[in-house]
Structure 1
């Protein structure tokens, strides 16, 4: 994959289907979210610093789930400043306080959301029929109603997180950034697509894109392996293959990408075997807003040098 030419990747427009009612699906989902309260509970964290106040913030997401985010508020601020929502990688959580404090020390308010049922403090109360084998992509795939897909609720939690961030007294709601890597990179794009007030999205080697391509590339040792496991154990003759990929289309970020209005800084690594570059470019190539591509040629799904510095510098311009 490291030898793929960027010119070829820039021509790729994806393999996975887009459901015919995709737009109405998300219009209806966002309408449901509009009825959710922006009220939240704050619990002071044990970790505190001289430059920021640190809290555990809890809110009620769609379906009544209790969602957690780390909230870091700058102590010294004059007027309303920017806010940033951070999203984490697959199976992980919102992480340490340290990087959030780095933003807050520059006057940036941070909310870092835990995804439902992963290794953070957010609750996953979704009860579905069928398997939950190996991961969250396929959670709800055996339900007739695509509203039962796990990531539908997570995507709506992203929007609610940003709306709460915008409601904070010290935050200018027109100066909102979103950022994450891998699953977090996918959630960054999904959030910007579903919440048009986001101004800047910095997405790093995003997951959750072009599921069929990932499966066709036999990415069984990648983040997409649960799709192959699903077919192996639940549908070995692939009688439901078309239905599975059509349903996954509702939660495929490449199908949301053309809704993004924010500026996007899109970071990719050409030696990535976890989230193959073709799947990433399926989303990038459909973004119609202002965008900047940052390519790490010899790197994979790993630490990318100088990236954190670049992210902070970009958010300081919000």
Structure 2
């Protein structure tokens, strides 16, 4: 079988290379305290898009640091009692997309919510305000500032805050909520399930934002991870601060959040993925202590994985 990374038996034992900061747990408890102290000022605005069997809304809330966050909110029409919900997170630099692909879940009785990441391709704000560069990349945003200023800290918190808001709605049963996404969306699914322990099921596919040092050592700091190479070339060309940089990235490395997950988890992995290398994915997968299963595609990379959307939908049907 062709091989891009480690053999499968080694991947299944791999524990990651990026350092875990010594105060990691305190860092995230402090972050969650900030999130809980933020007035979300939730708005549900009827959308111009409509179908006979579902109601569509633009959902807005205020996240940490005052950013106004947007999500598409679709619920089945005529709900008589609280039902299940699924949260969806999009790929890097993307958006929540069109309404039509949310409707299959609504037809099955699910409320479906798709978030725009702040500062990316949708309507959510990036309020900025960090020292250092803001060139190109989001996961290096705030890297030269305090770890509390890292942009992905705020984005991870947005996912947990959205989950909490949706769980509070009368149409949603807080004990029947799942989360899913591919690439960056996979990373945000892991973060959401880690920071909001009531998430019941999680389906991340080839998650991004995991094991940054491994990406660097594989010479794959390009494509989605290109900003890491750019950061070193422009701001630390001799790698004098390499250890400090990777340690700081450890705060927003999903492998370090993975042990917090309580949700039943389904991972999708392509073993020929050059964008999010398999070993970086397994660094997070191997740290999940909750019940989990893997759907492995040996010949596939960072692309559509045939049949996986159907498997994920079937996975959520138990909700």
Q: TM-score, normalised by structure 2?
A: 0.97
Partner of 1:101: 103
- Give the secondary structure class of the aligned counterpart of 2:224: coil
The answer as to whether partners of 1:2 and 1:298 remain within 8 angstroms in 2 is no
Does the residue aligned with 2:223 lie in a helix, a strand or coil? coil
Q: Decide whether the 8 Å contact of 1:141 with 1:247 is kept in 2.
A: yes
Q: Give the counterpart of 1:26 among 25, 28, 33.
A: 28
- 2:235 corresponds to: 234
SS for the counterpart of 1:224 is: helix
Aligned to 2:69: 67
* 1:245–1:3 CA distance, 2 compared to 1 (3 A): closer
Match of 1:170 in 2: 171
CA shift, 1:150, in A, is 0.3
Q: 1:77 and 1:6 mapped to 2: Cα distance?
A: 45
What is the rounded CA distance, in whole Å, between the counterparts of 1:132 and 1:126 in structure 2? 9
Q: Supply the distance in 2 between the matched residues of 1:4 and 1:96 (Cα, whole angstroms).
A: 38
Instruction: Provide the C-alpha distance between the structure 2 equivalents of 1:13 and 1:3, rounded to a whole number of angstroms.
Output: 14
Could you report, residue by residue, the CA deviation over 1:164-193 in whole angstroms, capped at 9, with x for unpaired residues? 110111110000100000000000001101
Structure 1 residue ranges without an equivalent (≥5): none
Q: Deviations over 1:89-125 (max 9, x none)?
A: 0000011111211111111001111000001000000
1:2 Cα deviation (Å)?
Answer: 4.4
Shift of 1:239: 1.3
Alignment counterpart, residue 51 of structure 1, candidates 47, 50, 53: 53
Question: What is the aligned residue count?
Answer: 317
Number of the residue aligned with 1:302: 303
The yes-or-no answer on 1:156 pairing with 2:157 is yes
For 2:183, the equivalent position in structure 1 comes to: 182
Superposed CA RMSD: 1.1
